[in-house]
Amino acid sequence: MLLKTMVYKKQDLTTVTEDASLEEALKILEDSGYRCVPILDASGKIFRGNIYKMHIYRHKANGGDMSLPVTHLLKNATKFIYVNSSFFNVFFTIKELPYIAVLDENNYFYGILTHSSLLSVLAQSWNIEQGSYVLTIASTGKQGDLAMISKIISKHCSIASCITLDIGKDEFIRRTLITLPAGISVQVRDKIIEQLENKLFKVVEVEDLQADF
C-alpha cells in the first residue's frame, strides 16, 4: 500500500533500546545528528516512545543522573500509526512531531514516517511535473459545485489533480485547487477561467507551474 512506500523501515533507522542509559542515548543522538530517535524494547520489536536530545541536555544541565534508563525521559509513547492507517489518521497524529512511529499488523515496530515524506506526497498531489497551471477556485461549497467546476474544465482539457481546502474552516467559502495538464495554452486557460466566472465561481489565483518551478 502507499503508506508503506513512504516509511523508513526499522533496519535503516537509528534506535535505542529501553535498557540504555541516558548517557548512552545521548552519545547515539550526538553521533547520528538526529534530534530524537525511537526507543524500542530489548527485542527490538516493540515501540516504547521517543527520546529527544534537548530533554537529555536539559536533564544533564540540571544535574540529573545520566545513568538513569532512557525511559526516564521517554516521550510520545502513544503517538503511532499502523501501516494500514488512513491518511486522515496520519495527518491528525503526526502534527508537530518530526516523525510518527509506524507499527505493523502485529503491533511490532515497522519504521517511521517523517514530516518531509508526507510533504513530498502533498507536493506530488499538485502534479507539478505533469501540470501547466493551478487554478484556485473559490465557491460556496454547496452540493454540485465540484461537479460543475469539473464539467466546465473537462470541456477543454483533463484535470491533472484536484485538492479542496478550507473544509470546516469557513462555512461559506471553499477553495478548490485544480491543476491543468501540461501543454495547455494561455488562451485555453483564460477560456476556462472566463466560463468558471460566468457560473459565479471566482478564480482567486492562477499559478504557472512551469514559470514557478
- 28 and 113 in a common domain: yes
4 vs 213: CA distance, rounded Å? 28
**Do residues 37 and 13 touch, judged by C-beta distance below 8 A?**
yes
**What average pLDDT does this structure show over 21-29?**
97
Confidence at 154, pLDDT banded by 50, 70, 90: very high
Q: Any idea how long the chain is?
A: 213
Among 58, 88, 120, give the residue marking a domain's end: 120
- 87 and 12 in a common domain: yes
Strands 161-165 and 99-103: unpaired
- pLDDT, tens digit, 9 for 90 and up, residues 53-108: 999 999 999 999 999 999 999 999 999 999 988 777 787 788 778 899 999 999 99
The three state secondary structure string of 86-135 is: CHHHHHHHHCCCCEEEEECCCCCEEEEEEHHHHHHHHHHHCCCCCEEEEE
Q: How far is CA 17 from CA 22, 34, 48, 90, 199, in A?
A: 11, 16, 9, 25, 61
Among 105, 120, 135, give the residue marking a domain's end: 120
Sequence-ordered strand ranges (E) for the chain: 8-9, 16-17, 36-40, 47-52, 80-82, 99-103, 109-114, 131-139, 161-165, 174-181, 202-208
Of all residues in the chain, the percent with pLDDT exceeding 70 is 91
Q: Domain of 186: which CATH number?
A: 3.30.70.260
168, amino acid identity: G
pLDDT at 129: 65
Dig out the grid coordinates for 172 from the structure: 461559506
- 195 and 134 in a common domain: yes
**Do residues 60 and 89 touch, judged by C-beta distance below 8 A?**
no
Q: Domain of 28: which CATH number?
A: 3.10.580.10
* Neighbouring-strand partners of residue 175: 138, 165
44 vs 172: CA distance, rounded Å? 50
- 131 and 95 in a common domain: no
Q: How far is CA 136 from CA 10, 162, 193, in A?
A: 40, 10, 10
Domains of the chain: total: 2
More confident residue, 122 or 206: 206
- 141 and 116 in a common domain: no
**What average pLDDT does this structure show over 35-59?**
97
| Residue 41, domain extent | 2-120
Nearest alpha carbon to residue 36 among 23, 11, 54: 54
